[in-house]
Structure 1
Amino acid sequence: MSATYRIQDEPRPGALGHLVVNPVFPLLSLLLAGTWLGVPWFILNGFAMGSPTRRKETVLAVLVIPGTLLLFQLLVLLLMEGVLTESSMPYAGVSAIVWKLALGYALCNLQQRSFALHEYYGGVVRNGALVLVASVFLGPRILEALTGGSTVLRVMLG
């Protein structure tokens, strides 16, 4: 009979452990490229790192898109009811950006703890700068291909 010792918050990298990046890169991709890249990258990074909070991270990441859609529908409803005007819509639209960035920041903070342990104990860490720079330049074309010109999809994934 052998007892196994396990630290509860210890990251346990899986087969994708060689793809781990600093959580700042998915956050920057969310800021600069959009939800279409930032959200999947956060999820992939959490699973690659073996983060003990990866389920919580996945739930937060998945909430970004439906939350943005609900916020968009609320703004359209307020516009139709006359609470908002056409000239105030761009200012109200900032709330969708704030929603995405707040969840991105929360995801970055959740992953940062596991990443620090992963890095400290010699885990492989990749540089995400190349993906980030490529997404900034190729992102508008990729977003156009993903949305097909739909305004609602552009708001959700942009």
Structure 2
Amino acid sequence: MSATYRILDEPRPGALGHLVVNPVFPLLSLMMAGAWLGVPWFVFNSFAMGSTTRRKETVLAVLVVPGTLLLFMVLGTLLKMEVLTKSSMPYALVGVIVWKLAVGYALYNLQQRSFALHEYYGGVVRNGALVLVASIFLGSQILMALTGGTPLLMVLLG
């Protein structure tokens, strides 16, 4: 009879465990390229490293889209009610950016604990700088191709 010892918060890397990156790279890609790259990268990284909080991370990542839509609809309603003017709308849209960055920072904080354990116990860690730099230079072109220039989709994925 053998007993197994298991740490509850120990990450369990999956088959893609060799593709794990430091969570700072998805956070920076969210800031520099947009949600189209940063949010899916957070989810992928979470499953690749076997993060113990991957369900929370996935739910939080999925909430980016409805939260952005809700903020966009509220701002549109405020514009129709003439609480906001067309000249104040760009300033109000900063709230949408803040929402996405706040979710990204929350994802980073959730993932950082599992990543630290993954790294400490000898897990493979890749450098995400190449993807980040490529997204900085090609991100707007990729976003335009993904959305076809539709303003609502640009706000959602940007």
1:77 maps to a residue whose letter is T
1:3 Cα deviation after fit = 2.5
Structure 2, unpaired ranges of 5+: none
CA RMSD of aligned residues (A): 0.6
2:8 partner amino acid:
Q
1:5 matched residue in structure 2: 5
Q: Normalising to structure 1: TM-score of the pair?
A: 0.98
Q: Say which SS state the counterpart of residue 77 (structure 2) adopts.
A: helix
Task: Return the TM-score normalized by structure 2.
Answer: 0.98
Matched residue type, 1:141: Q
Structure 1: runs of 5 or more not aligned: none
Equivalent residue, structure 2, for 1:21: 21
TM-superposed CA distance for 1:87, in Å, is 1.0
Q: Percent identity?
A: 80
Aligned partner of 1:19: which letter?
L
How many residues are aligned here? Answer: 158
- 1:157 aligned to 2:157? yes
2:63 alignment partner, SS class: helix
Letter in 2 for 1:33: A
Q: How does 1:1-80 map to 2 (within 5 A)?
A: 1-80=1-80
Find out whether 1:117 has 2:117 as its counterpart.
yes
Displacement after TM superposition at 1:139 (Å): 0.6
Residues 50-105 of structure 1: CA deviation (Å, up to 9, x unaligned): 00000000000111111101100110010001111111101110000000000000
The Cα offsets for residues 104-124 of structure 1, whole Å up to 9 and x where unpaired, read as 000000000000000000000
